[in-house]
Structure 1
C-alpha cells in the first residue's frame, strides 16, 4: 500500500505537551512494525499490580526521550557546541531505538525465555536489521549507541548518569504511578547542560537540580521499581516462563501463541540468535504472555497453574524484606510445610519458596561521574562541588534481602 503521508506529525504527550517528529526518516522508523510493537510492551512490567495507573508503554517513553534529546541539542547548539545535521539525526535515532529490544513485561524475559540475552543486545540486533532496511542510514546512530563515537558527550546523552533515558523515565513513571517524589524537572536540568573537553557537564547553578534528580531516583527505586509487591509479581512471571519452558522441553503440550511456543521450545543464546529468532521475537508482546497465563491457570501441572493463577488474579506470594540475609533454616522449614501440605517435590516447592536480594545505588561515583562546570570554567566531580553529605549517601549501595512464600492457603 503506497500512499503519500504527511510525515511532520505531532504527538500530544501528557508530560511535555506537543512533541514534533523532526524529519521523515524518524517518522518512518516510528511507523515501522518493530517500533510499533513497543505500544504493546508496558514500561514498568508488573508494577501496575501496585500502581493501577502504571500502564504506560515503552512507545510512550521512547518518544519522550527523543523529545528531551531535541531540547538538549537546542541548548548545546545555543551554547556554541557544534553538532552536524547527521549527528543530530543519529542521536534522535539512537535514543528512539534504545529500548526496542525489550521483551514482554520488560525484564522477565531476559531471565527465563531468552536466557542471558539482554535487551541491549536485542536492541542492537534490531537496529542492525533496520540499518539494512534503511540503506545504512542508522550507521552513525549505531556507533553512538555502542559508545564508539569519538565525540564522547554524544554517547553520554544516550547512556550516562544524566542521560535522556533516565530523564524521561523518572518523570514519566512518577506521573503514571502518582508517586510525586519522583517528579524531576528534567527540562530545567537539560537547560543547564554544556560540553567541556568533549564531556557532558552541568553548570554550577543547577547543582541542586542534580541532587534532587539523584534523590528522586533513589526514592523511585525503593518506592516503585523495587516495591516488594512488584518484585514478587516479576519473580512469579519469571518462574511461570521457566516452568513453561521445562514442561515444553519434556514433551508437555502448552497452549500458547506461535512466537511464544517457538521460544519455549528453543534454547536461545547470544551466539545462536538468528534473523528468524529476531523476526519471531518482534511478534512477542505482553498480550502473548497474559493470554498464555489465562489458559495455563487451568493446566494439570501444579506449579504452572498455581503460578499463572497468582498473577492473573493478583493473589501473590507473601514477601518479607529484611536488612540481613535470610537464614537457610527458614527456607527449609517453609519448603517442608509446602511439600507435606500438597504432596509435591522439593523442586516443585522451590518455585513458591525462594529468597533473593535487591540493591539500590542512586549515584555511582566511579562510572562516568557527573561533572559540574564552575563559574571559573573549571570542572569538578559533583561530590566535590556540592560539598554535601547527600552525594556520599547516594553513592553508597544499599542491599536488602527478601523471602517469598505462599500465604496460608494457596
Structure 2
C-alpha cells in the first residue's frame, strides 16, 4: 500500500497581516496583539499581503515567526500555518507548520535556518550557549565581506539576548527573544544603578556611557547597548530596539526617538549599518575607554513621546520627577528636544511647573511641544503656555 501523503492541518482561525511601507516592524508588532478567544486546540493560518511600494523587512518576518513560536510553545494555541503566497520572501520557506519547526528534531537546539545572500534567519528552540557560538561562527563565514565592526555589534547583541532572556533550557531564543525584556533583566542586575533604571521607562537611560548592568569590577563594561548605539551612529546607520512597551529608534546621526508601542514580550533589535562607508573601528573603540571625549551633541534631535511612561495622566510627583530626569538626560546629548504629548489627556499643575522650570533652565536648547489633536481645552491651555515659553529659547539665542 502506498504511503498516505501528509496534509496541512485545517485552520480554525485566520489572521491577516499587511506589511506596510513605513515603520513596518512596529506596525507588525501592533498587529500581533494577543487574541483573547484563542483556544489550546486552535490552528491559526497567517496570511500575508503588502502595501504598494513596500519592501519586506526581515525583522518583520522574524517578529511574526517569533511571536507564533512563543504562543505555540506556551500552549495558547496548537499550531500555526503560514501563507506566504502573496509576498516574495528572500528565502524559501520550508512549507512547515510552527509545530513541525519546533518539535521535528527534539535533540537539535536549532529548529530552522533560512539563508539567502542577504539575510540569515535562525530559530533556536533551546537556550544553548554552545550552539549559539557555533551559529555565530557560521554567520561570520557566511558573510566574510562584512567588516569586523558588524560582527562585533552582532555578536554583542546575540550574546546579550542569550544571557539576559532568562529562558529555561526548553525555551528558545534568537535575535528577537521572548524573555523578560530589558526592564525585567535589569531588575536582577548586579549594579544598583541598573536596578534603579529598570523602574524607569525611557530607553535613553540604557544607551549612556555611565550605565552598566554587570559591574566593571567583575570584568564587564556592561555597556553593550551604548557601544552598539554609538557605532551605529558613527557609521550613519540605523538602530531600533523594541522591548516591553517602548521603542528606541536611532536613525543616522539626526534623531533619537523614544515612544510607547504595543507590548512586545522580550526584546527585538532591528538595524542596519553602511558597509561602503570608511570607518576607523579601532579609533572608535578607544573612545569608549573615555566616553568624555565623545561629542556632547551626539543626536541633533531627541524626540520623546510622553506616552512611553504608560500613563495618560501625568499627575504623580514621582512620575513627573522621573520624566524631568529623562529630559535632563536628553539635553546632555541633543541641542533640540521634541516633546510629543500624543496619548496624554491631562497634566498636573505641578508637572506644568516642573516643565516651565526645565524650559527656563535650558534656554539654549530648542524645545518643541506637540499638542495632541484630541486634547481638551484645559490641556491645550496648559501646553500653549509652555509652547510660548519655549519659543523664547529660539528668540533669545
Please state which band the TM-score falls in when normalised by the shorter chain.
Answer: under 0.3
Query: By percentage of residues, which structure has more helix?
Result: 1
Relative contact order (alpha carbons < 8 A, sep ≥ 6): 1 or 2 greater? 1
Return the TM-score normalized by structure 2.
Answer: 0.26
Alignment TM-score, normalising by the size of structure 1 = 0.25
Higher strand share: 2
